[in-house]
Amino acid sequence: MNIEVLKSKIHRVKITQAELHYVGSITIDEDLMDAANFIEGEKVQIVNVNNGERLETYVIRGERGSGMVCMNGPAARKVQVGDIVIIISYASMPIEEAKQFQPTIIFPDQNNRLIY
C-alpha cells in the first residue's frame, strides 16, 4: 500500500503577480523551484495565508533570480499581489519508505529570495 506524504514545500512566499488571462498554473522563480525540488509541470497545492483559499495547479518555470511567484488563469482570482502563500507538493510511496523520507522545505525571505 502507498500513502501520500509531503514531498516539498515553499513556506510563506509572496505573490508577485496574478495573470487572469493566462492558460493556467503558477509561475515560480527557477531558483525557488530548484531549492524546493519542484519540477515544471508538477502538481502543487497552494494555500493562501491571507484569505484561507486552497487550490491545486501545476508549476511553470519562472525567470531564475526574479523572485517571481505568479498565479495564472482563473486561480488568479483567489489571490492578490502581496498575499503570502504556501506551495506544497506530495509524493506517493510505500509506508515503510515514507517513514524514512525527509521532505524538502524552504523558507524564502520577504523578497522571495533564498536564505543561505
Please list the active-site residues: 25, 58
End-to-end Cα separation, the chain, in angstroms: 38
Distance CA 18, CA 36 (A): 21
CA torsion sign for 60, 66, 67, 69 is negative
Distance CA 61, CA 103 (A): 21
